[in-house]
Copies of this chain bind each other. A is one copy, B any other.
């Protein structure tokens, strides 16, 4: 109960700040971001001390080396965080852009403008650099932010948020705009996702379990991110040399990320030609293959894929492989098992490519390129808050615009509306 009151008080402070932030000038926000970057670097020693304490506790708790690596900060990583804030400052202001305007027959002038969302809730796991990234992107887009980082990074996150918050305030950002929940209790997430009326959105980043739990339980609107069961379909009209490169890149270049491929679908007519060399390429990189019976009739030493394999996000050097009779079967497989993230076809047939792009249901559908490009930076947004796998509000890589809403500004000269039969409500 005390915890709930504390979180609510922080959210209320953020909400109060958000009203002032919404009309703060662009140059004030950008200058603050530069001051915050400088403060990170001049406070690096203090931040690294807190991070060392987090690292010590996590190592004592027996965390894996890969986890510790995500948690660790050093001078270079702090410089990268600072540089990230400066790059964010240099991006165009996402606020104030007009995206609809009309003068109505009655003389009313209606304009729709980009405005901040208000208060953004971010829930994330190990990496402390997300703290600085999220604060920077939220301030740039005129939002207040309530952060809940990983429990193991609490001392690091607290040091980063305190440093940035102080520098922001000194540069004219309203007090209360940056809030970090300084408690390890997992129940804090549940309190946060029920702050209806105080938080305008919750963005979870992390494991599938965390995201699922938040989507199922939150009464605050959520942007679902991150799950990626991505497919590459090698069509009968594929350039097979291109297919080897694309499949290898999509699986091997970074298997732990959400835009890596998990399943390879191959047209029956090219399977016998394509699969032996593809398997040799992938095995040279240590990839384990799991195939359907038809794959095993070409590659007898491949493990048999179970039904669960088609829906699994391995995040590892494992690839499920299935032979399909045609592009329709590939599209049906993808629409059944995918997570709405990124899908690719390799083909030289323009009609098949067009049909695949139209009918596959995903944020991003590639023709003759690797799924690994789904990323805010690769898409030219200059920033990324995460990758949305839902269809509401924003889909695919989220840049600054994903942190904005709209407002209609209407000018009249005393217009009133005549009573009309149409009903607006209920």
Contacts of A407 in B (CB 8 A): 362-365, 395-396
Residue A297, interface by CB 8 Å = no
CB distance from A168 to the nearest CB of B (A): 20
Give the complex CA separation of A410 and B344 in angstroms: 9
**Beta-carbon contact of B259 and A424 below 8 Å:** yes
Give the complex CA separation of A411 and B127 in angstroms: 33
- Apart from A23-B359, A256-B425, A364-B409, what are 18 other A-B pairs with CB-CB below 8 Å? A19-B335, A23-B358, A70-B426, A110-B379, A117-B391, A216-B219, A221-B222, A225-B425, A242-B414, A253-B417, A254-B419, A257-B425, A366-B411, A366-B412, A367-B410, A368-B414, A384-B424, A393-B393
Q: Which of A26-34, A40-48, A171-179, A199-207 is the contact stretch? A: A199-207
**Beta-carbon contact of A22 and B359 below 8 Å:** yes
Q: A415 — nearest CB in chain B belongs to which residue?
A: B369
Q: Which of A180-188, A265-273, A276-284, A370-378 is the contact stretch? A: A370-378
Could you say which interface size class chain A belongs to? 35 or more
Instruction: Describe A's contact surface by its main secondary structure.
Output: loop
Contacts of A19 in B (CB 8 A): 335, 359, 361
Give the complex CA separation of A248 and B367 in angstroms: 59
Give the complex CA separation of A226 and B424 in angstroms: 8
Contacts of A374 in B (CB 8 A): 408, 424
**Beta-carbon contact of B410 and A366 below 8 Å:** yes
**Beta-carbon contact of A215 and B219 below 8 Å:** yes
A235-260, CB under 8 A of B: which get 1 and which 0?
Answer: 00001001001101110011011110
A104-131, CB under 8 A of B: which get 1 and which 0?
Answer: 1000101000000110000011110000
* Other-chain residue from B201, B369, B396, B414 in contact with A412 (beta carbon distance below 8 A): B369
A188-213, CB under 8 A of B: which get 1 and which 0?
Answer: 00000000100011000111000000
Q: A313 — nearest CB in chain B belongs to which residue?
A: B425
Residue A325, interface by CB 8 Å = no
**Beta-carbon contact of A196 and B216 below 8 Å:** yes
* Other-chain residue from B118, B335, B412, B425 in contact with A361 (beta carbon distance below 8 A): B118
**Beta-carbon contact of B425 and A387 below 8 Å:** yes
**Beta-carbon contact of A408 and B363 below 8 Å:** yes
Residue A357, interface by CB 8 Å = yes
Contacts of A79 in B (CB 8 A): none
With most chain B CB atoms within 10 A of its CB, the pick from A23, A126, A373 is A373
Q: Can you list 18 contacts pairing A with B, beta carbon distance less than 8 Å?
A: A19-B361, A23-B358, A102-B379, A108-B369, A118-B361, A196-B216, A205-B425, A215-B219, A221-B221, A223-B392, A226-B426, A239-B414, A257-B423, A259-B424, A365-B409, A369-B415, A370-B412, A392-B392
**Beta-carbon contact of A358 and B391 below 8 Å:** no
CB distance from A148 to the nearest CB of B (A): 14
Give the complex CA separation of A395 and B361 in angstroms: 25
**Beta-carbon contact of A392 and B395 below 8 Å:** no
**Beta-carbon contact of A416 and B372 below 8 Å:** yes
Q: A396 and B391 in contact (CB under 8 A), knowing A246-B416, A373-B108, A414-B242? A: no
**Beta-carbon contact of A370 and B424 below 8 Å:** no
Residue A413, interface by CB 8 Å = yes
Give the complex CA separation of A393 and B200 in angstroms: 12
**Beta-carbon contact of B406 and A395 below 8 Å:** yes
Q: A250 — nearest CB in chain B belongs to which residue?
A: B416
Contacts of A62 in B (CB 8 A): none
**Beta-carbon contact of B375 and A410 below 8 Å:** no
Residue A390, interface by CB 8 Å = yes
Q: A368 and B411 in contact (CB under 8 A), knowing A196-B216, A245-B416, A419-B254? A: yes
**Beta-carbon contact of A367 and B411 below 8 Å:** yes
**Beta-carbon contact of A417 and B226 below 8 Å:** no
With most chain B CB atoms within 10 A of its CB, the pick from A126, A196, A408 is A408
Contacts of A124 in B (CB 8 A): 426
Give the complex CA separation of A363 and B223 in angstroms: 20
